[in-house]
Amino acid sequence: MDFLARQPLAFQVPAANVRVLRSPDEFYNTLLDNVRSAQRRIEFATLYMGVGPMEQKLIDAITERAAAKPDLRLRFLLDYTRGTRVDAQGRSSATALLHLAEQGRCALYHTPRLRSVARQLLRSPLNEIMGLQHMKLYVVDNKVIISGANLQEEYFTQRVDRYVMIEDEQLASFCADIIATVSRHSLYLRADGSITPSRYTKAHPAEDVKRHVRGMQRDLGRLVANYASEAKKKLFDLAATDMAVVAPVLQMGYYGVRYDQVFSQELSQVLRSEHRIQLSTGYFNLSPIYQKMLLAHQGAVTVLCASLEANGFLGARGAKGHIPYAYLHLLHGFQDAAAACKKTNLDVRQWRHEGWTFHAKGLHVFDALNRVVLATIGSSNFGLRSQELDLEFQLVMATNNSELQEAFNQEAKALLEDSTPVPSHEGAEKVKPWVKWISHQFGRYF
């Protein structure tokens, strides 16, 4: 997987500094430990923050650490539409973080797609279909946890996800700078509860769209170019057994940032028939690029997704409760496409465990010796929504270190433990005709 070193941006880090977290409680407790020992910065990007006791414990730990370290830099980046959605008690991510607005910076990304008539007509939570801040990056000092998990109780207790913590100054700083850059072009939560444009842009993203897009493109381009320039000065030892190469691949389609698309196309070119692919996603709706990569691959492919019972949308009120059936229908379409191209070495599996939901996403690529030679982790679900509408961050990792390869191997095995094969069109009778129509006509919004 030497092509990783040729990505627009890549870092080489000691393999011993990469830790694969294995459970929701390990994720939560590691977050708490990192926060409680923070010396310089706490900078988080997430879709939203929950309002329960576990989330409050995390917020309290951040508050206490900020009081003990007055120079500590605090920054939070959430999505505006999801972050301001209120529950029955009138609580939201914004209200949960309100008292931190004075001590730090709480930015709420507002997609420029939600403007004009759409902004007036689409109410919460329907307005979330237009685009979200979907990155999950949790930076504390030189450590960064990259995940698909949000900061909400279910992700800390009974929702399966993936999490990798890396300790590296340059990578952590890059992730923090991504958070800062997007934040500058977002709205800000003020101490009085108001939400206003940032002092950097002085404009609402949905009201001065061209200026917003140009500014975001300019600043993201400069950021990546600066880090790439520094990275190119360092020679990678790709054969080293004590190192790992990590490459951040951003996908922010509305701003023309498409590193994940480029990566997936390059990966499909270097894969060989001896490579086995395992792709996991909580919400199955593959983009044409990823579907083509899987179906064209000569080697074995395993696709793992949530069953109806393990989909977080099951049981939701109104149309949202039918979303799991839309994903099931899209999965059946993928199986039909595989049959049409005679892809026989494909294993499609659904995950289910009573009382739990499935939210894991990412790739594991195995070599002929069953070693994980490449893994991705991040926020992308590999669909058209991730490709075109949301802000996504994935980290691609490759290593020759046997211990790290085994850690990823065990992670991949653990994901499969509660899964079963999906016969072609199993459950098709549960999908209503209008759900099938919606999934085809508006699939990019799922």
| Closest alpha carbon to 161 in 26, 259, 15 | 26
Distances (CA, A) of 299 to 163, 344, 375, 384: 27, 10, 17, 25
Give every CB contact of residue 105 below 8 A, 6+ residues apart in sequence. 74, 75, 76, 183, 188
Q: What is the pLDDT of residue 338?
A: 96
Say which of 60, 87, 99, 136 is annotated catalytic: 136
Residue pLDDT tens, the chain, 446 long: 677 777 779 999 999 999 999 999 999 999 999 999 999 999 999 999 999 999 999 999 999 999 999 999 999 999 999 999 999 999 999 999 998 887 668 999 999 999 988 888 888 888 999 999 999 999 999 999 999 999 999 999 999 999 999 999 999 999 999 999 999 999 999 989 999 999 898 889 999 999 999 999 999 999 999 998 887 767 677 678 899 999 999 999 999 999 999 999 999 999 999 999 999 999 999 999 999 999 999 999 999 999 999 998 888 877 788 899 999 999 999 999 999 999 999 999 999 999 999 999 999 999 999 999 999 999 999 999 999 999 999 999 999 999 999 999 999 999 999 999 999 989 999 999 999 999 989 888 88
- Burial (Cβ within 10 Å: 0-12, 13-18, ≥19) of residue 272: exposed
Q: Do domains 9-235 and 250-446 have the same CATH topology?
A: yes
What DSSP letter does each residue of 387-422 carry, written as one string? HHTSBEEEEEEEE--HHHHHHHHHHHHHHHTTEEE-
Q: What is the pLDDT of residue 234?
A: 72
Is residue 136 flagged as an active site residue? Answer: yes
Q: To which H or E segment does residue 362 belong?
A: strand 362-366
Q: How far apart are CA 443 and CA 143, in angstroms?
A: 36
Are 268 and 287 in contact by the 8 Å Cβ rule? The answer is: no
Say which of 110, 134, 143, 329 is annotated catalytic: 134
Are 91 and 98 in contact by the 8 Å Cβ rule? The answer is: no
Is residue 141 flagged as an active site residue? Answer: yes
Q: What fold, for 9-235?
A: Endonuclease; Chain A (3.30.870)
Q: pTM, whole model, 2 decimals?
A: 0.96
Say which of 79, 141, 168, 177 is annotated catalytic: 141
Q: For the chain, what are the domain ranges?
A: 9-235, 250-446
State whether CATH 1.25.40.20 applies to domain 250-446. Answer: no
Q: How far apart are CA 133 and CA 154, in angstroms?
A: 19
Tokens of 315: 């049981």
